[in-house]
Amino acid sequence: MEEPVAPPGKVHSRAMQASRVTLPKLDPPPPSVLAFLLGRFPFIADWESRIKRGLVRVDGGGLGGLLTVDSPYRAGLKILYFREVETEPNIPFEVQIIFQDAHLLVADKPHFLPVTPTGPYVRASVLARLQEETGLLKLVPLHRLDRETAGLVLFSLRPESRADYSRLFQTSRIIKTYHAVAAAEAGVLPRPWRVESRIEKGEPFFRMACVEGQTNARSTIRLLAERHGYGLFEVHAETGKKHQVRLHMAVIGHPILHDKFYPDLQSEAPADALPDFSQPLQLLAKRLEFVDPITGEARVFESEQELAWNPLRRSE
């Protein structure tokens, strides 16, 4: 593939590994694959030029990898591409590696960094930073955290053992504990809440929603402490649905502090603008516990970060 050339005066970023997207079923469908990419990923640089240069291809699908700017849209088609952005926001926070062996790497990520390249973020992602720091280009995240969420992320180093670790999440054999800060007036009982719901994609596409139907998301929530009108909550997420903790905190009437998606969607700054670093989402993936499927050892990893759980302290 031809190496892209950055436009004059701009900082160009390109992912070290390819990304894949499966074209969803849309009604009406876009007229072409290019039209879909332009609409869904408007902050990724110059789709038309990249297709012409062979940097965007079909991954299987019977088309021999060929893709043109006129290729028709077809639901289910898998597209392979290297993420590129002309200018990438600088996120001035560092990822910490807290454990590494031959099969597993555990990272403690700060707020604001995506786990993998997404939108205007490529080299700023946790995956790209770890690949550059360690030289391990076969790193693959075993699960995801929202860009706004801080805390622990597990990465697989070896393809041959990856499925063993993935099954920990698929079969709920990993205990995930989160800390969250939310409004909690004095007198809120420190009782556990048991939340069971069905979570599906909502509107817009990046939000999730609790809907009627068979339960697929379960959490237990308890209040650890309260002061100055805010509470520190502990959440045990038995399942791993996207935005599960954020949704379930809203369900019990305690939406997470600085959550711009739930319970109501707030207007967002442009996707390529720097986030407001003074107001991180007060959600932390604090602890992970499991039996290592390779070594048989009991593993307990805990984030070294703490939430500022009374950031809007009232005057006394």
Q: Are 272 and 179 part of one and the same domain?
A: yes
What pLDDT is attached to residue 232?
94
Q: Cβ distance 59 to 100 under 8 Å?
A: no
Q: Are 128 and 236 part of one and the same domain?
A: yes
Of 66, 85, 104, the position where a domain reaches its end is 85
Look at residue 138 and tell me if it is in a domain. Answer: yes
Q: Are 41 and 178 part of one and the same domain?
A: no
Beta-carbon contacts of 176 under 8 Å, excluding residues fewer than 6 positions away, are 236, 237, 240, 285, 287, 288
Look at residue 265 and tell me if it is in a domain. Answer: yes
The two tokens of residue 121 are: 């973020």
Q: What is the pLDDT of residues 193-237, one digit of tens each?
A: 999 999 999 988 889 999 999 999 999 999 998 888 899 999 999
Q: Are 134 and 200 part of one and the same domain?
A: yes
Q: Are 81 and 112 part of one and the same domain?
A: no
| Threshold 0.85, pTM exceeds | no
Q: Output the domain CATH number for residue 258.
A: 3.30.2350.10
Q: Are 147 and 63 part of one and the same domain?
A: no
Of 85, 108, 130, the position where a domain reaches its end is 85
Of 85, 117, 147, the position where a domain reaches its end is 85
Look at residue 309 and tell me if it is in a domain. Answer: no
Q: What is the pLDDT of residues 252-301, one digit of tens each?
A: 999 999 999 999 998 766 655 667 888 999 999 999 999 999 999 999 99
What pLDDT is attached to residue 62?
47
Look at residue 7 and tell me if it is in a domain. Answer: no
Q: Are 117 and 245 part of one and the same domain?
A: yes
What pLDDT is attached to residue 139?
93
What pLDDT is attached to residue 57?
86
Domain count, the chain: 2
Q: Please tell me the least confidently modeled range out of 30-39, 131-140, 261-270, 292-301.
A: 261-270
Look at residue 316 and tell me if it is in a domain. Answer: no
Give me the domain span that covers residue 78: 13-85
